[in-house]
Structure 1
Amino acid sequence: MIRQKSIIKKYAKTLYEIAKEQSSIEGVKKDLNAISEKLSNNKHYEKLMFSQFSPYKMKKMFINTALDGLNIRDVTRNFIEVLLVNNRISMLYDMIKFFNEIILFESGIIRASLTICSRQEDMGQFIKEQLKSASGKEILLESEENKEILGGFIIRVGNKVLDYSLRNRLNKLKKYLNEGKE
C-alpha cells in the first residue's frame, strides 16, 4: 500500500511538472476530470479499464473510445498511454486526486478535514485559523460529524492524522491499564 501511494505521487507530480512546463495545468486538470467523469459514468468501461485481467489492446481500444469527443490535450493523452503501458491505469482516480491536491498546494491552499462529535462552527473556525497560522497557507477545511469519537476532534492534513478524540484517549488508557495486568 505504501509503495502504491509512492507510485501514485510520482506519476501525479511528474504530470504536474510537465503540465506546468507547458502552461497547461488547468487544461490538464479539466481533461483528467472529464476522463474521470466519463469512466465513472460507464461502469462497464470502468471495470474493463481497471481490471488487471483485461489485455492492454482492449484497454487501449476502450480508452480511445472513451476519449473520443473529449478534445483531450496531447500531454493528458500521453499520460494515459503511459499508465496503460506500465499497467498503472487502475491508479488513475488516485492520481487525479493527488494531482488536484498538488494544484491546491501550489496555489497556497491546504485541504484539511475535521471530524468532531457535534457541529461547532467556532471549533472549525478556530482549527482553521490555527492551521493557517502554523502553515502560512489558506486552509480548505471540510468538517464532518461523527458521534462515535465521543468528544474532541480528529484533524487530517494530507497523510498526517492528529487524533485528539475522547475515544482515542480512552483506548490508550485501556491499553495502558491492561499492560499493567500482564
Structure 2
Amino acid sequence: MKNKELSKRYTKALYNLGKEKGIQDVLFKELREFCKGVQSVTNSKEYLASPLLRSRDKEAQMKKLLEAAPASEEIKNFVLLLAKKNRLFLIDEILQVYEELIDEENGVTRGIVESTEVLSPKQREEIEKFISKAVNKKVILVYRENPEIIGGLVARVGSYTFDDSLASHLKRLKEQLKRSVH
C-alpha cells in the first residue's frame, strides 16, 4: 500500500476519534506541536524512516519525547501506535492530510499567490475576496515574491489558477492578433 493511502487511513482514524469526542482541533494542534518537536531533533526524519532501528526502540524514544511534551492520551497513543507499526515516517503527511480534513469540514481552501513585489494588506484583502467568491469557499492564502513573474500575479488555489501576470496578458494579446490577421 502506498504511503499516501496509509497516511489517509491513519489520519481518518485519528480525525474521527477527535470528532467523536469534539476535540479534532485540539488533536490537530497537538499533532502539529509534536511534529515541530520531532523536526527539532537532529536527523529525526532519517531516524523515523530507518529500517535498521526496531520499532520497539522507536517506540521507547517516542515515549521519552511525549513525556516532555504536553499531549493528550489520544495523541500519545496515536504516536506510539505509529512507532509500533513502524509508520512514524508518515507523521508529516498525516499532519497535512489532517489539516485538509479540517479545512474541508470548515469550507476552507488554501492557495499560493505569487507576485513580483510584496502586496499591501488592502491588495491582499481584495485578492482574497475575489478568489473566495470565485471558488465559493473561504480561502487562506500564502503570499510569495517571485521575480520570474514579469508583472502582476499568479494565484493557485486547489485546481484553479488565476493568472493575471504580464506574460499571460501578452500571450492573450498575441493570440488575438493572430486571429485577427487570419
Structure 1 segments unaligned to the other structure (5+ residues) = 174-182
- C-alpha deviation, 1:117, in angstroms: 2.6
User: Are the aligned partners of 1:59 and 1:84 in contact in 2 as well (CA < 8 Å)?
Assistant: yes
- The amino acid of 1:154's aligned partner reads V
1:21-68 C-alpha deviation (Å, 9 max, x unpaired): 111213212321231122122215554223233221111111111111
User: Are the aligned partners of 1:111 and 1:140 in contact in 2 as well (CA < 8 Å)?
Assistant: yes
What is the TM-score with the length of structure 2 in the denominator? 0.74
Structure 1 or 2, whichever has the larger Rg, is: 2
- The amino acid of 2:38's aligned partner reads L
Partner of 1:75 in structure 2? 74
C-alpha separation between the residues in 2 aligned to 1:143 and 1:114?
A: 5
- C-alpha deviation, 1:123, in angstroms: 5.5
1:104-123 C-alpha deviation (Å, 9 max, x unpaired): 33233322211123334466
SS of alignment partner, residue 144 of structure 2: strand
**Pair 1:139-2:107 in alignment:** no
Partner of 2:148 in structure 1? 148
- The amino acid of 1:133's aligned partner reads K
Count of residue correspondences: 167
User: Are the aligned partners of 2:11 and 2:94 in contact in 1 as well (CA < 8 Å)?
Assistant: yes
For the structure 1 residues 150 and 96, does the alpha-carbon distance in structure 2 shift closer, same or farther, using more than 3 Å as the test?
same
Partner of 1:97 in structure 2? 96
For the structure 1 residues 57 and 103, does the alpha-carbon distance in structure 2 shift closer, same or farther, using more than 3 Å as the test?
same
The within-5 A match list for 1:28-177 is 28-121=27-120, 124-158=124-158, 160=159, 162=161, 164=163, 166=167
- The amino acid of 2:32's aligned partner reads N
Partner of 2:13 in structure 1? 14
SS of alignment partner, residue 54 of structure 1: coil
- The share of aligned pairs that are identical, in percent, is 22
